[in-house]
Amino acid sequence: MQSCEISSDSTDDPLSRALRRHRQPRIVVIGAGLAGLTATKTLLENGFTNVTVLEASDRIGGRVQSIQHGKTTLELGATWIHGANGNPIYHLAEENGLLEHTTEEERSVGRISLYAKNGVAHYQTNNGKRIPKDLVEEFSDLYNEVESCESSSPSMDEVSLSEFGEWTEIPGAHHVIPVGFIKVVEILAQDIPSRVLRLSKPVRRIHWNCSSQDAEEIDDQADHNQDQRPCPSPVCVECEDAECLLADHVIVTASLGFLKKAHETLFSPGLPQDKAQAIQKLGISTTDKIFLEFAEPFWSPECNSIQFVWEDEAQLESQAYPEELWYRKICSFDVLYPPERYGHMLSGWICGEEALRMERCDDETVAEICTELLRQFTGNQNIPKPRRILRSSWGSNPYIRGSYSFTQVGSSGRDVERLAEPLPYIKNTKAPPLQVLFAGEATHRKYYSTTHGALLSGQREANRLIELYQYSFGAETTKPNV
């Protein structure tokens, strides 16, 4: 594992000077999403130079994925900055001019900036009838509040009512970044040296609480040369390609979906029972987007979305639809605005098991089914097939396995805190502290499911290590919270 040289413009605070006098702690960050990149950036800015980021995929960003589509940028993942004042993502975007192309009207109305100006939603039944406006107004606020796609849950029956208030909303409008949310990711990554960031580097196992002999045996099994092996450490990160990296600290930013699937084999020894139970109890599901581009609009100029309302309630008695009826979980198609930016584009939403079934279909099948749905609900049998389709597939992504977390029935905010708690637990143990730390949106009790929650969790774990070494080197007199 190579070290990064301290640049001439690095801060010269007491901790940085102390780190230069002592052996640099070896830190491995797993995941190059918002949490991992923020943790890495924070550590480097505070004088830590022996930091390595391991990213399983071939790109940075995690669940932020902006795709260039013709003349515009489409967001397969994170789309909105939720709230303004106090939101670090908003301030980062504002300071770097990422919102400069957003009009004053778009700034003021927030989320609706994506949709037709002064537009209205058309609530259409599967019999091709439009529900009258006065009837829509009676239930639309409640519908928007409890829509399962918003919670990334298969059904609102799975969302804990008692814990629904755990999530905290930052005041202000919901903003979009016209040039793509990925620009925020790139800003976080721009000062991270390329040799620190290693892509296409999935991790097989994290060995923690290792003795010197344990670390050497693991490294020998990976067939590494003696002169390549650093001095023994309490943690050894074993990669899928058999390379082993010895470390003093590992920050795990893997998604909750990945931890649900892999934690039993990812950690050796296994996670404490209460942490494993927290992973099991907290919820994460899949919310996917389906983008359909048409040569010409078939919707009226005032329409900003087409909401699907199924009238045959007998079909809705079960929580999940039969596999072949996955399309019944598509709740709406939004009109992206302005057309000068997006063309004639609709954005559909689908969540839960039905989203996973959609992911297993090919583009042609999904395009045909969506076209038939639009014909059925609008009553317009002349709607043509879209000329292009683009869709996300977060559920089947082997390194993510879901979109964002929610408080599932049976879980609580305490489970979020338990997931975030570093290992080993016992503060008076003789084992080295803060061997394995956890970050990511699912570890933030107030802001889970958000990009700002992910960013703040990365800062939080980096600050744990900063405080640990400030205390160890005498730079601070207060004992850190480990």
Give 164-205 pLDDT, tens digit per residue: 667 788 988 888 998 999 999 999 999 999 999 999 999 999
pLDDT(390) > 90: yes
pLDDT at 321: 67
194 phi and psi angles, rounded to 5 deg: -60, -30
Which of the pair, 318 or 159, is modelled with greater confidence? 159
pLDDT(120) > 80: yes
User: Which has the minimum average pLDDT: 110-119, 216-225, 233-242?
Assistant: 110-119
Look up residue 63 and give its two tokens: 């669940």
pLDDT(315) > 60: no
Just give the CATH number of 101-155+287-391: 3.90.660.10
Entry field: residues in the chain:
482
Average pLDDT over residues 27-31: 98
Out of 55-59, 155-159, 208-212, the most confident range is 55-59
What's the mean pLDDT when you consider all of the chain? Answer: 85
At residue 8 the predicted structure's pLDDT band, cuts being 50, 70 and 90, is very low
pLDDT(114) > 70: no
Q: Which CATH topology does 18-61+184-283+401-472 take?
A: FAD/NAD(P)-binding domain (3.50.50)
Give 46-93 pLDDT, tens digit per residue: 999 999 999 999 999 999 999 998 888 999 999 999 999 899 999 999
CA dist 297 → 114, 115, 346, 434 (Å)? 16, 14, 9, 56
pLDDT at 471: 81
In the chain, domain spans: 18-61+184-283+401-472, 101-155+287-391
**What's the CA gap between 375 and 298, in Å, rounded?**
10
CA dist 376 → 97, 207, 292, 383 (Å)? 43, 55, 16, 10
323 phi and psi angles, rounded to 5 deg: -55, -40
The DSSP element (H or E) to which 422 belongs, if any, is none
At residue 18 the predicted structure's pLDDT band, cuts being 50, 70 and 90, is confident
Average pLDDT over residues 332-357: 92
pLDDT at 55: 98
Alpha helices in 52-117 (DSSP H): 88-95, 104-109
Neighbouring-strand partners of residue 122: 306
Closest CA relative to residue 180, chosen from 101, 257, 125 = 101
Which of the pair, 472 or 317, is modelled with greater confidence? 472
